[in-house]
């Protein structure tokens, strides 16, 4: 069953329409990779899904039409967004940044358990729980942003270019942790990634955007094996 079903999504900025009818599916427990060149509309799709910009069409999440809902309502329903640039609160400690993600939760002992699990998954953060987030490296801030999102115990984790600016070894660490959380917590994912191989390697479905439209969609393994798609859209 689909956890997220996007149909004929139109969205943009001011008078300019950037998405011209995007279709996208994330299966329950699955991962969908959203690929495409710079400027294709990947970030805009995530912003529209999370309610950050005006949009039309149909976004059905967990059986509910969320197209017209506020960002806060959408977050409360279980969609957690890890934006590009990560958005940590620089003056708050690593631990407090993580706890921001759990602000809506009442189950304090479960929250503590989840915090411990996040820190175990990212030892680099565990070593510096009291440090101000602004003093952390780019890779650590990416880990922190993922943990903050996970601390809300989302049904869907929405990731915008998690590998951006990271060294390969750090990128691997981040993706391994994502795989770990997916296995342990059953969190579904929608991931935008420039690194198509990385994204296709962890996804079960993929959609390729070009100029605000999905031009290719299907099983990730199938798309990974198509040289024509790789050459035309993925730069690999
Ligand atoms: P990238 O990998 O470069 O982030 P993308 O596929 O995520 O690319 P978007 O960021 O969604 O692409 O951008 C799609 C189009 O929308 C681009 O033409 C871009 O110039 C435009 N755009 C993005 N953000 C804004 C904004 N805040 N205001 C106006 N136009 C924008």
Confidence of residue 168 (pLDDT cuts 50, 70, 90): very high
pTM of the model: 0.94
- The answer, yes or no, to whether any atom of ligand 1 lies below 6 A from the CB of 36, is yes
Per-residue model confidence as pLDDT tens digits over 20-66: 999 999 999 999 999 998 999 999 999 999 999 999 999 999 999 99
Instruction: Examine the domain organization and report whether 50 and 25 are in the same domain.
Output: yes
Residue 84: pLDDT band (50, 70, 90) is confident
pLDDT at 67 over 80: yes
Average pLDDT value for residue range 98-118: 93
Ligand 1 lined by 39 (C-beta under 6 Å): yes
Atom of ligand 1 nearest to the CA of 37: 6
Whole-number average pLDDT of the chain: 93
Residue 181's pLDDT is 94
Q: Which residue has the tokens 């912003």?
A: 47
Burial class (CB in 10 A: 0-12, 13-18, 19+), 129: middle
Q: What pLDDT was estimated at residue 228?
A: 86
Alpha-carbon span 145 to 138, nearest angstrom: 11
Instruction: Return the SS3 of 7.
Output: strand
Residues 163 and 229 in one domain: yes
* % pLDDT > 90, the chain: 81
Nearest CA to ligand 1 atom 19: 39
**What is the token pair recorded at 149?**
């999102």
Which of 10, 13, 196, 215 to probe ligand 1 with, by most ligand atoms within 8 A of CB? 13
For the Cβ of 40 lying below 6 angstroms from any atom of ligand 1, the answer is yes
Of 122, 153, 184, which one is at a domain's C-terminal end? 153
Task: Determine contact, residues 212/20, Cβ cutoff 8 Å.
Answer: yes
- pLDDT of 127-154, one tens digit each? 999 999 999 988 899 999 999 999 999 9
Kindly indicate the confidence band of residue 236, based on its pLDDT and cuts at 50, 70 and 90.
low
Q: Which residues pair with 36 in a beta bridge?
A: 209
Task: Please give the residue range of the domain that contains residue 34.
Answer: 2-78+154-234
Residue 74 CB burial class (10 angstroms; 0-12, 13-18, ≥19): buried
56 and 160 assigned to the same domain:
yes
CA of 63 to the centre of ligand 1 (A): 29
pLDDT of residue 80: 96
205 and 186, same structural domain?
yes
What's residue 47's pLDDT?
97
The total of structural domains in the chain comes to 2
Distance 18 CA to ligand 1 centre (A): 8
Q: What is the distance between the alpha carbons of residues 133 and 137, in angstroms, rounded to a whole number? A: 9
| Residue 93 φ then ψ, to 5° | -70, 165
User: Cα(60)–Cα(38) distance, rounded to whole angstroms?
Assistant: 26
Residue 130 is given by DSSP the state T
Pocket test for ligand 1, best of 44, 158, 212 (most atoms within 8 A of CB): 44
Q: Which of 60, 45, 4, 59 is CA-nearest to residue 213?
A: 45
Residue 164 burial by CB count (10 A; 0-12/13-18/19+): exposed, middle or buried? middle
Residue 235 · residue 194 · CB < 8 Å: no
What integer is the mean pLDDT of 91-120?
Answer: 93
Token pair for residue 86?
């990560």
Q: If we measure between CA atoms, which residue out of 79, 101, 78 comes closest to residue 89?
A: 101
Whichever domain contains 208, its CATH number is: 3.40.50.300
Report whether residue 43 contacts ligand 1, using a CB cutoff of 6 Å. yes
Identify the pLDDT of residue 187. 97
């Amino acid at each position: 069953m689909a956890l997220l079903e996007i149909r004929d999504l139109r969205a943009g900025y001011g008078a300019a329409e950037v998405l011209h009818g995007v279709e996208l599916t994330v299966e329950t427990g699955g991962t969908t990779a959203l690929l495409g060149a710079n400027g294709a509309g990947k970030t805009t799709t995530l912003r529209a899904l999370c309610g950050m910009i005006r949009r039309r069409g149909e976004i059905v999440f967990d059986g509910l039409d969320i197209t017209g809902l506020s960002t806060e309502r959408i977050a409360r329903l279980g969609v957690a967004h890890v934006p590009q640039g990560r958005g940590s609160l620089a003056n708050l400690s690593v631990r407090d940044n993580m706890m921001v993600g759990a602000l809506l939760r009442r189950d304090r002992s479960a929250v503590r358990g989840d915090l411990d699990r996040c820190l175990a998954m990212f030892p680099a953060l565990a070593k510096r729980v009291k440090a101000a987030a602004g003093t952390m490296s780019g890779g650590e801030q990416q880990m922190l942003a993922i943990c903050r999102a996970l601390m809300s115990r989302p049904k869907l984790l929405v990731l915008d270019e998690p590998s951006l600016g990271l060294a390969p070894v750090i990128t691997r660490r981040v993706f391994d942790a994502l795989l770990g959380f997916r296995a342990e917590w059953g969190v579904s994912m929608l991931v935008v990634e420039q690194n198509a191989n990385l994204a296709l390697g962890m996804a079960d479905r993929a959609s390729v955007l070009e100029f605000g439209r999905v031009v290719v969609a299907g099983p990730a393994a199938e798309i990974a094996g198509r040289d024509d798609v790789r050459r035309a859209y993925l730069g690999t």
